Amino acid sequence: MTNHPLKTLRFRAEATLVGGLLFVIRQLPLTVSSWIGGKVLQIVGPFLPAHRTARTNLERAFPEKDPGEIAGILRGMWDNLGRTAAEYPHHDTIKAEAGTRLEVHGGELLEDIAANPRPAVFFSAHMANWEVLPIASALRGLPVNPVFRRPNNPYMSDLFEARRPHPDVQLVAKGPRAARELLKILKQNRSVALLIDQKLREGIPATFFGRKAMTPSAFAEFAQMLDCDIYPTRVERLPGARFRATIYPPLAKPDTADRKEAVRLLTQTATSMIEDWIRERPSEWFWVHRRWPD
């Protein structure tokens, strides 16, 4: 935590402002909050520097699409991101109203792991409202421990801790200690969840939309170390602040004794699956991220 008085003052002010905004949003019905969030970012988003990054990414990923199609995906992307942000204070509502808000396909896989405890690795991407996945797994009796990016503002840590959908869920912060913490969790016959669709310097290259992109491979390395299964998981947005969460059967284990090659194959297989999901619903992905090298 910083000791610089001005920075401390700024961080406190930011945390107070964000906390107040989340409180106000929480007073609105979930569906209304989601709609407003989407409309606000549809208006504001195109004026942000990230809009140019998203457009460039889309033009490179979909060279066959004309400018009108790209513009439509961008509008949908900002709508989705605005909705996701506005739904953040309503995670308890999503959980409480899961019967009408949340479709879960493949839930029996979660129930089987919960009934027969063993280490399991779940991977997903920044699609739709990706925060829904830990909620879906907790409702099926399986607290999954996700990795998250610690906020730059230390006074916002409590806001992130509030995301825990189950008291047994441990949030693992990205950083040099994350791998050790995740490995420790897995050795306790518990499950972990990682989003693997963003660039990492320490990742390995995988083909993504026809271009090489540095990709997190820790999920595959953990599976190789402990001989545990890797489950693809996906969230799709449905009308009216509703969601579909799909847990797929585990990835087939590569037919090779070369651990490094197995990690490469698993990472590529997972990356290709995510690309397929994005191609089906391009407006629901996080195109504002600099995924590929310039």
Q: What is the pLDDT of residues 46-56, one digit of tens each?
A: 999 999 999 99
Would you say residue 15 has pLDDT above 70? no
Overall average pLDDT of the 22-41 stretch: 91
Overall average pLDDT of the 22-50 stretch: 92
**Structural domain that includes position 32:** 5-284
Q: Is residue 160 domain-resident? A: yes
Strand partners, 211: 208
Q: Is residue 240 domain-resident? A: yes
Amino acid 183: pLDDT: 93
Amino acid 156: pLDDT: 63
pLDDT band at 191 (very low <50, low <70, confident <90, very high): very high
- H helix runs in 124-258, sequence order: 132-139, 157-161, 178-187, 218-226
Q: Is residue 294 domain-resident? A: no
Mean pLDDT, the chain, whole residue set: 90
Distance between CA atoms of residues 134 and 199, nearest Å = 22
Written as six digits, the tokens of 202 are: 């320490």
Amino acid 16: pLDDT: 72
Q: Is residue 206 domain-resident? A: yes
- Identity of the amino acid at 184: K
* DSSP label at residue 285: B
Domain count, the chain: 1
Q: What's the pLDDT tens digit per position in 75-132?
A: 999 999 999 999 998 999 999 999 999 999 999 999 999 999 999 999 999 999 999 9
Q: Is residue 289 domain-resident? A: no
Would you say residue 213 has pLDDT above 90? yes
pLDDT band at 18 (very low <50, low <70, confident <90, very high): low
Amino acid 11: pLDDT: 63
Q: Is residue 112 domain-resident? A: yes
* DSSP label at residue 238: E
Would you say residue 175 has pLDDT above 70? yes
Would you say residue 205 has pLDDT above 90? yes
Q: Is residue 293 domain-resident? A: no
Cα–Cα–Cα angle for 235, 240, 246, rounded to 5 degrees: 20
Instruction: Please tell me which residue, 172 or 268, carries the higher pLDDT value.
Output: 268
Amino acid 13: pLDDT: 76
Amino acid 48: pLDDT: 95
Overall average pLDDT of the 193-211 stretch: 89
Would you say residue 229 has pLDDT above 50? yes
* DSSP label at residue 4: -
pLDDT band at 1 (very low <50, low <70, confident <90, very high): very low
Q: Is residue 277 domain-resident? A: yes
Written as six digits, the tokens of 232 are: 């693809």
Helix or strand (DSSP H, E) at 214: strand 211-215
Helix (H, G, I), strand (E, B) or coil at 190: coil
